[in-house]
Amino acid sequence: MRPIDYFDKGAEANLDRTAIIAADGSWSYREMQGTTQDIARALWANGLRDHEPAGIYSHNDARVLFCMLGIMRAGAVWVPINYRNAIDGNVEYMNYVEMAWLFYHSQFRDSVAEIKRRVPSLRGIICLDREDGEHLSLQNFMEQGAGAKIPDWGDAYGNPERLAGLVPTGGTTGPAKGVRVTNLALGTMTELATHYWRGDVEHPVCLNTAPLSHAAGVLAFVMCSVGATHVVMPKFDALEVLRNIERHRVTHLYLPPTALYNLLAHPQVREFDYSSLRGFLLAGSPVAPDKLKKAVEVFGPCMCQSYGQTEAPMILTFLDSKTVAAAAAGDHSERLASCGRPTLAVRLAIMDEAGKILPGGERGEIVARGSLICGGYYKMPEATAEVRTYGWHHTGDIGYMDAEGFVYIVDRKKDMIISGGFNIYCAEVEAALMALPEVHECAVIGVPHDTWGEAVKAFVVLHPGASMSEAAVISHCKQNLGGVKAPKSVEFCHEIPKTAAGKIDRKTMRAPYWIHAERQVH
């Protein structure tokens, strides 16, 4: 089906149920559906051309979801924009996809003024929360659509190959590529997520605190298809998340692992009632097993994990809450380090550099096939062909699969360190560091070394009040990993650099050490 059909099915079965709760009001599904129709009509009344890219530039706000759905309903192409990106990166991406429409919050009016000057393809700019000079407010914009009709652009097959979105990759290795998210891929993800994540909850209540411009927005869309009530927080605040779980009897919550670590480190984490939680989903990067075990102790048997990427959204694999709870209790405790088993709509395999599928237990690149895989990169046929060599989608992640089909991610290919001829995966070293109770956060990179080629360097953020020496950290890693993989140096810092998508920014961290090198390996 088309993405908007999933929303309409959920809305029409729950018209009078509360759809959104936010600081500035609440809306029923009847009101939400009507608003998305008004946005779609206004786009057509103001000259929308079928399949034009339309973006949203805002922090978390209920109107972000309204506009996302209105864009989908109109038959435009949703383009998520991360307001935390540098403006040059956003401008570059908007010009690349030839953005035609932009919805924004007035908080970012200065940035939008510059964007307007530098993105000539923009034809319509709408302010979400108020009139802003020549830019209409969303409310006044919707009024311009009165009497307009939304063309019926659907077909009997649900337009499977039509673009639903142009979603930027993380861009940690260069300019972001636009992933062609088709109706088929987004529909597959919706059905997989409702099957695996929803569980047996009749009326889900989802807390939305991660950025709606990315995975959290897609998951909010997914849960609309089952009539969930969405509590929208403007940003992540650990104490407010904990309070809101109890206050709203939250059943479902998605966060990246780094945000979970902040919750677990909060001094008031054990003061609230989390008994309503049924699906606390972690995604975006591997989770430290010790932290996952502690999360089960704190939040109960609700912790689950998925693995995916922009090119294969969110749910290539799923590690269910029963398996996590059992592992935390000591039954196959190694599964706390797994991202789960492949989901129903995909085939997963482990492949070597020559395209050979490897047997269980051997490490190689994780590759995938299935209807979850998106339609390649926008205007980049060579990059699309490269990521599909040997007839599989290449994730760029290194991992292995055990005899029971559980997948274990070891690292990104590009994050591999070669020291003295040995392959060292950053995630392995980081997992050992995170097992230290004093460590709040960490990152590992390879730096040039005259003898070994590259040496392992660790950056460590300690919990407030904690102390630890470099020698103690290295000694711990040697005991757990051996001398080859243990860091050769440790730098204590106040924070780990992150990309705008919240991932460790190894490119920035590596730059000072490789600035004089002719290439990024040694």
pLDDT of 521? 55
Assess contact for 108 and 37: CB atoms under 8 A.
no
Distances (CA, A) of 367 to 34, 179, 351: 42, 17, 7
- What is the pTM for the complete model shown? 0.87
Residue 492: the pLDDT is 97
Largest CA distance in the chain: 74
pLDDT score, position 173: 47
**Which domains does the chain show, CATH number per domain?**
3-180 (3.40.50.980), 236-412 (3.40.50.12780), 421-514 (3.30.300.30)
Only one residue has tokens 């482990």, namely 350
Question: Which residue, 150, 201, 169, is CA-closest to 42?
Answer: 150
Per-residue pLDDT of the chain (522 residues; tens, 9 = 90+): 999 999 999 999 999 999 999 999 999 999 999 999 999 999 999 999 989 999 999 999 999 999 999 999 999 999 999 888 878 889 999 999 999 999 999 999 999 999 999 999 999 999 999 999 999 999 999 999 998 999 999 999 999 999 999 999 864 445 779 999 999 999 999 999 999 999 899 999 999 999 898 889 999 999 999 999 999 999 999 999 999 999 999 999 999 888 898 999 999 999 999 999 999 999 987 888 999 999 999 999 999 999 999 999 999 999 999 999 999 999 999 999 999 999 999 999 999 999 999 999 999 999 999 999 999 999 999 999 999 999 999 999 999 999 999 999 987 777 788 887 777 888 889 989 999 999 999 999 999 887 788 899 999 999 999 999 999 999 999 998 888 899 999 999 999 998 877 888 888 999 999 887 765 655
- CA 387 → CA 365, 375, 381, distances in Å? 12, 11, 10
What beta strand segments (E) does 59-129 contain? 77-80, 101-104, 124-127
Instruction: Name the 3-class secondary structure at 479.
Output: helix
Burial class (CB in 10 A: 0-12, 13-18, 19+), 190: buried
Amino acid present at 210:
A
Rounded Cα–Cα distance for residues 171 and 89 (Å): 9
Show the tokens assigned to 444.
């590992």
Q: Are strands 416-419 and 422-425 parallel, antiparallel or unpaired?
A: antiparallel
**Per-residue pLDDT reduced to its tens digit, 113-157:** 999 999 999 999 999 999 999 999 999 999 999 989 999 999 999
DSSP state of 357: B
Consecutive H or E run containing 40: helix 29-45
> How many Cβ atoms are within 10 Å of 141's Cβ, its own excluded?
22
pLDDT for position 276 = 98
CA distance 361 to 85: 39
Q: Please check whether residue 301 is in contact with residue 331, taking contact to mean a CB–CB distance below 8 angstroms.
A: no
Question: Which pLDDT score, from 0 to 100, does residue 172 have?
Answer: 45
What is the Cα–Cα distance from 34 to 6, expressed in whole angstroms? 15
Backbone torsions φ then ψ of 469, nearest 5 degrees: -95, 160
State the angle between helix axes of 3-12 and 215-224 in degrees (0 to 180), rounded to the nearest 10: 50
